[in-house]
Amino acid sequence: MKTLRITEDVHQKLTALLGELTAQTSRMQTYTDAVEALLKQSVILPPELLTQIENFIETHKNLGYMTREEFIRDATRWRLKTLTDEYEYIEIRRDEYERLEAAIKEMALPFHNASDYLNHHIKTAIDKYTEWRQQEEQLEKQQRKKG
């Protein structure tokens, strides 16, 4: 067994983690368990990336991120969602999106925003395609009956 010197602040954080682990597992935990849990849950990121994240949080306080851990958890959830097969994501340049938003408002189009506009046109195209497919199937049936 080795001895490790830690500051009072780190000791308090470790003790808090120990309490969380005990609550999660419903069994007594040791400091060794807490350190192992920390090591198991840790992800090492380059300092430049951490600086970018901290700068982003600082300059975009309106988004509600208080810590880089919170931001990283949210970013990871978002990335996992984008990699699933349930949704497909498209990119549009911000300036084009903003011009579309402005056009919708200025022209008093019946849409709430650019996203509403895009979703409407996608649904309309799918509905037209479904209708076209049904007509094609009917034509094929008629041709089989004649042939």
Q: What are the sequence ranges of the domains in the chain?
A: 1-42, 45-146
In tens, the pLDDT along 49-84 reads: 999 999 999 999 999 999 999 999 999 999 998 898
| pTM of the predicted structure, to 2 decimals | 0.58
Say if residues 31 and 37 touch (Cβ distance below 8 Å): no
Q: How confident is the model at residue 41 (pLDDT cuts 50, 70, 90)?
A: confident
Has residue 129 got a pLDDT over 80? yes
Has residue 22 got a pLDDT over 90? no
Distance CA 110, CA 119 (A): 13
Please give the biggest Cα pair distance in the chain: 91
